Amino acid sequence: MEYKIPFNKPYISGNELTYISEALSLGKISGNGYFTGMCHDFFEKKYGFKKVLLTNSCTDALEMSAILLNIKTDDEVILPSFTFVSTANAFVLRGAKLVFCDSEQNHPNMDVTKIESLITSKTKVIVVVHYAGIACDMNKIMKLASKYDLFVVEDAAQAIDGFHVNDLGEKKPLGSFGDLATFSFHETKNIISGEGGLLVINNENLIERAEIIWEKGTNRKAFSNGEVAKYDWVDLGSSFLPSEMIAAYLFGQLENLDKIQRKRRELWENYYNKLSNWAVKNSIEIPFVPSYSSNNFHIFYLICKEENQRNEMILHLGSNKILAVFHYQSLHKSHYFKILHDERTLHNSDKFSNCLLRLPMFYELNNDVVINCLLKF
Ligand SMILES: *Cc1c(COP(=O)(O)O)cnc(C)c1O
């Protein structure tokens, strides 16, 4: 079917294409050149991240994390079941055992009160996912991690420009809590470069090795800086760094981050304000933002009262040529996980798998059409 309103649409916010041709004129389109440096500076200055490295995807950054934390066979990793496969795959690739934590009742983020009972002597890392850019309860998670001496990785794929807010109202950027954090610039996220990602290294002990893993396991950086005489293979690694053309596109977006976020805020608030009463009447839940989180306006979702209602709504929108989509089949029920481990019961995660519906959300959207169509449902 041809949709009048797609779910997502990639867009140009300003100088993206000009910067791609500039990268070519600079005579270097492989990785770690001028625009990669500009992007790195942006993140380090704007959010105070200690060290960042652009990657080809958030998936890449998660895989780098698992290598950096020396994840080995039988190490246990605690993570939510309601997440994208990459959160899990990165650690399974290193032989880890997955231990899924259920979502909260009123939000897809993991339920912090259920984490402690999942920790064993084999637990090595807690991977949190800030779903829809809404913060997990990081104060509690960081306390648990230090009590049991665990690493924390933030899958902040959706959380660019999202913040955790403490009791005093002070904001701290998501991605600055964990030993490591990962962001995505996939075309469905707020800030895009087609495919693209970022690894944030907050734990200083991991920085030097991160740069080696990023450059295929070589000491290329030390060699370029004249610190070693030979360019050698020194560790595990892969080709995690993106081309300068990706970095150039990304920098064009980063320059307009505030403008992009303002537009998403308008869209999100328009949905929220005009659908609130309608939602109550139809027993549908709309997004909940806890007091310890800001909103980065990544996703506007509905939680239908049951799977049937969601199916009917998708058909209703579809017959008006509007595409709404759902996501994350709980990983604990996935085909692959069931080969690896016994199935568990995670009620809240299953509820979001069956009932959550994402409405169209992109920079050039006029969402009144979507809203008017829903009001007739
Ligand atoms: C999008 C997403 C990813 C994967 O990002 P890529 O850049 O496509 O690899 C991982 N985790 C979460 C929670 C995501 O939303």
- Looking at residue 214, its amino acid is W
Residue 287, ligand 1, Cβ within 6 A: no
Residue 157, ligand 1, Cβ within 6 A: yes
Distance of alpha carbon 242 from the chain centroid: 18
pLDDT of 230 higher than 80: yes
pLDDT reported for residue 78: 98
The number of C-alpha atoms within 13 Å of 47 and in the hemisphere containing its C-beta is 27
Mean pLDDT of the chain: 96
Interstrand relation of 180-184 and 151-155 (parallel, antiparallel or unpaired)? parallel
Residue 301 vs residues 45, 184, 268, 369, 371: alpha-carbon distances, Å = 32, 19, 10, 16, 13
pLDDT in tens, 143-197: 999 999 999 999 999 999 999 999 999 999 999 999 999 999 999 999 999 999 9
Residue 203 vs residues 64, 78, 208, 325, 348: alpha-carbon distances, Å = 14, 19, 11, 37, 32
pLDDT of 338 higher than 90: no
DSSP 248-269: HHHHHHHTTHHHHHHHHHHHHH
Q: Which atom of ligand 1 is nearest to the CA of 185?
A: 7
Q: Which atom of ligand 1 is nearest to the CA of 129?
A: 13
Two structure tokens written together for 80: 């939510």
pLDDT reported for residue 2: 84
Kind and range of the H or E run holding 304:
none
pLDDT reported for residue 284: 97
User: How does DSSP classify residue 321?
Assistant: T
Q: Which of 86, 91, 155, 187 to mutate to test the pocket of ligand 1 (most atoms within 8 A of CB)?
A: 86
pLDDT reported for residue 305: 96
- The pTM assigned to this predicted structure is 0.97
pLDDT of 297 higher than 80: yes
pLDDT reported for residue 268: 98
Two structure tokens written together for 220: 């290329």
pLDDT reported for residue 341: 72
3-state DSSP assignment of residue 308: helix
pLDDT of 344 higher than 80: no
- Which residue has its alpha carbon closest to ligand 1 atom 5? 58
pLDDT reported for residue 337: 86
Q: Do 293 and 162 form a contact (C-beta atoms < 8 A)? A: yes
3-state DSSP assignment of residue 154: strand
Distance from C-alpha of 69 to C-alpha of 313, rounded to nearest angstrom? 43
Name the band, by pLDDT with cuts 50, 70 and 90, for residue 63: very high
Residue 353, ligand 1, Cβ within 6 A: no
3-state DSSP assignment of residue 77: strand
Name the band, by pLDDT with cuts 50, 70 and 90, for residue 22: very high
pLDDT reported for residue 4: 95
Please state the rounded mean pLDDT for residues 275-289: 97
Please state the rounded mean pLDDT for residues 116-133: 98
297: left (phi over 0), alpha (psi -120 to 50) or beta: left
Helices (DSSP H) in 48-163: which residue ranges?
58-68, 85-92, 138-148
Distance between Cα 230 and ligand 1 center (Å): 36
Q: Do 268 and 358 form a contact (C-beta atoms < 8 A)? A: no
Residue 309 vs residues 26, 103, 202, 226, 279: alpha-carbon distances, Å = 54, 21, 43, 64, 12
Region of poorest pLDDT, from 122-126, 135-139, 328-332: 328-332
Residue 310, ligand 1, Cβ within 6 A: no
Please state the rounded mean pLDDT for residues 111-134: 98
pLDDT reported for residue 345: 84
Residue for token digits 């303002």?
262
Nearest to 8 by CA among 196, 190, 253: 190
Q: Please calculate the CA angle 296-190-130 and round it to the nearest 5 degrees.
A: 50
Helix-, strand-, coil-residue percentages of the chain, each rounded to 5: 40, 15, 45
Residue 184, ligand 1, Cβ within 6 A: yes
Two structure tokens written together for 324: 């709404």
pLDDT in tens, 301-327: 999 999 999 999 999 999 999 999 999
Name the band, by pLDDT with cuts 50, 70 and 90, for residue 46: very high
Please state the rounded mean pLDDT for residues 253-265: 98
Q: Which atom of ligand 1 is nearest to the CA of 158?
A: 15
